[in-house]
Structure 1
Amino acid sequence: MTTPQTKLTGKLLIDTAMGSFLGDKRIRLLEAIDKTGSISQAAKAVPLSYKAAWDAVDDMNNVAPEPLVNRFAGGRHGGGTELTAFARRLIAFYRALEKESQLALAKLTSNLEQNGVCDVDDFRQVLRRMSMKTSARNQFAGPVIAIKEGVVDAEVSIRLAPELVLTAIVTRESAENLGLAKDRDVLAFVKASSILLLTGDDGHISARNRFTGTVTHLHQGPVNAEVTLAMPGGQHVLTAVVTLSSVKRLGLAVGQAVTAVFKASSVFLASMD
């Protein structure tokens, strides 16, 4: 009886200075959007839930240097989606890299077998453990534009877009460990539960980050609701989790102008080597 040949297979994940944000499922989602012009139809093709598809699109637009997906009004369902030229170039780049990575894995498998390594499960496990994920709902990327150092802490300003600056406060030790410096690209994470929403001007809020945007999605659960805002500039979005009673009290609705507020200390950073 012949022993089945051990083979390495894998999915390509693009990990750039702007963060890990693009893999097989998201590429297939982009391709489906390009084909159908509909986020709902693209979600069914992947398959993904409608919400998961929009979350993926928002995440990609947040960390990409240019928008990948544009939304427009009109059409049979009152609106649609389309890929940008940048997104189409990115898909082509990904597919070319994917082809080369599969050839490399096939060669690696052959080399391992020639050296008497017939079981590569341990190797797969190491690769899986090297993957990093975070539970923070909001992920952004951009260059550091300023660092103000104090005795204990450092205030770090990150430019997400020409008109959009995020502020984080980290310890001086953390800033040194991350190698933070002006013009260095970093990732910024904010938990959805750390964000407060305001529907009017309130001068008594001391939080450093204040962004006024428009509600694009409102997903209500049994207790809480997830509220997604389009931030100034249109490319980035911010998602907050608030109670249903807060949704009712604020009268939140899609299309409404809302200000998202969160402390600089609620932002945590990661640098990309």
Structure 2
Amino acid sequence: MPARPMTATRFLARMSLETEVGTALSDTRIRLLEEIGRKGSINQAAKAVPLSYKAAWDAIDTMNNLAPEPLVVRVTGGRQGGGTQLTEYGRRIVAMYRALEIEYQAALDRLSERLNDVGGGDIQAFQKLMHSMSMKTSARNQFAGIVTGLRDGGVDYEVRLRLDPRHEITSVITKASAENLNLQIGKEVFAMVKSSSVMLAVDKGMKLTARNQLWGEVVAVHEGPVNNEVTLQLPSGRNVTAVVTQDSCTALGIEVGTEACAFFKSSSVILAAYD
């Protein structure tokens, strides 16, 4: 029986912009931003995408943390008692993404026209390679920062990252890791911290041994059977999330609007960088 000829193939553009710590922008996240711009409500925008309310806020937190300035901000007041708003920077990002997507689709269309010249095995090998190269991280807190300090400790390296004009964080990694990342002053690096490694405090007079101390306002508390997920917003608009017990939240008086400090050890900060 003769082999069937390869039928015409068209790749459809579902573009995502990836960083070393996972997806920064995707079609789903862009649609979420577009819906926020239209509706001014995270709840309504999430339903339109669709996403769960928590997944929508998680996506916004990640985008705001990785961007040089917030894409989405909370607003208060008005007849509805407040909502969410797409910033001018966020609008520009959406417009640039959609423009790039058009060019991306045009490139895929040109590739489809040439597919008959490529063997099926080569296509499968390429697909396998793309799958193996994708990377996701379970770390809840992801930040982009610029290296502002490096100190060689012999066995390890102390690395300081500037998150915004007010905040720096410190990471301690092995010397081999520092060399592998090719760290240098001014280089952009991604920092990841698991939410379970982040602790909270509310007393400004308390002395802490943790090098990293980020003060902000509690903007969300997601309650669970035993633990709560608490999100703090820094003055720059970036967010930090901690998982703490309900008893700890009660003892500290943690609720939306509380000023609190998210602190974590420098050894809890994982770094990633572009080659």
- Cα deviation, 1:42-75, whole Å, max 9, x if unaligned, reads 1111001111111111111111012111211113
Structure 1 residue 193: Cα displacement: 0.1
For the pair 1:196 / 2:199, whether they are aligned, the reply is yes
For 2:274 and 2:187, the matched residues in 1 are separated by 9
Which residue, out of 65, 69, 74, partners 2:72?
69
1:1-58 deviations in Å (ceiling 9; x for gaps): 8864333334211246997411111100000011111111111110011111111111
Which residue of 2 is the match for residue 28 of structure 1?
31
What SS does the corresponding residue of 2:271 show, helix, strand or coil?
Answer: strand
Supply the distance in 2 between the matched residues of 1:111 and 1:3 (Cα, whole angstroms).
Answer: 12
> Which residue, out of 234, 237, 253, partners 2:236?
234
Q: Which residue of 2 aligns with 1:256?
A: 258
Give yes or no for contact 1:69–1:87 (8 Å, CA) kept in 2.
yes
Residue of structure 1 aligned with 2:188, choices 185, 199, 220: 185
- How far the C-alpha of 1:245 sits from its partner, in A, is 1.9
| Contact 2:145–2:189 (CA under 8 A) maintained in structure 1 | yes
Name 1:272's counterpart in structure 2. Answer: 274
Q: Deviations over 1:107-162 (max 9, x none)?
A: 22222213343884443332222111100000000110111111111111100101
Letter in 2 for 1:37: G
**Aligned-partner Cα distance in 2 for 1:209–1:224:** 22
Contact 2:9 2:115 in 1 (8 A): no
- The partner residue of 1:91 within 91, 94, 97 is 94
Structure 1 residue 192: Cα displacement? 0.1
Equivalent in 35, 42, 45 of residue 45 of structure 2? 42
- What's 2:108 paired with? 105
Which runs of 5 or more residues in structure 2 are unaligned?
Answer: none
Secondary structure of the structure 1 residue equivalent to 2:225: coil
SS at match of 1:86: helix
In the alignment, structure 1 segments of 5+ residues that lack a partner are none
The answer as to whether partners of 2:141 and 2:240 remain within 8 angstroms in 1 is yes
Matched residues, number:
272
Q: How well do the aligned residues superpose, as a CA RMSD in angstroms?
A: 2.1
The AA in structure 1 aligned to 2:189 is: V
Q: Distance in 2 between matches of 1:194 and 1:67?
A: 24
Q: What TM-score do you get using the length of structure 1 for normalisation?
A: 0.92
Alignment match, 1:140: 143
- Mapped contact 1:223–1:243 kept (Cα < 8 A): yes
Query: Are 2:208 and 1:205 aligned?
Result: yes
Q: Secondary structure at the match of 1:175?
A: helix
Which residue number in structure 1 is paired with residue 173 of structure 2? 170
Question: TM-score, normalised on structure 2?
Answer: 0.92
Structure 2: how far apart are the matches of 1:238 and 1:52?
Answer: 15
1:155-200: CA deviations, max 9, x gaps? Answer: 1110010111011111111111000000000000000000111122
**Structure 1 range deviating more: 67-76 or 132-141:** 67-76
Does the C-alpha gap of structure 1 residues 10 and 123 become closer, same or farther in structure 2, counting only changes over 3 Å?
Answer: farther
| Distance across 2 between alignment mates of 1:179 and 1:21 | 23
Letter in 2 for 1:229: L
- AA partner of residue 239 (structure 1): T
Distance 2:128 2:43 in 1: 35
Query: In 2, are the aligned partners of 1:211 and 1:259 still within 8 Å (CA)?
Result: yes
Distance 2:83 2:181 in 1: 41
The residue aligned with 1:130 is: 133
Distance 1:183 1:162, change over 3 A: same
Select 2:246's aligned residue among 241, 244, 247. 244
- Equivalent position SS for 2:114: helix
Supply the distance in 1 between the matched residues of 2:193 and 2:21 (Cα, whole angstroms): 16
Structure-to-structure mapping, 1:3-22, within 5 angstroms: 4-15=7-18, 20-22=23-25
CA shift at 1:213, angstroms? Answer: 1.3
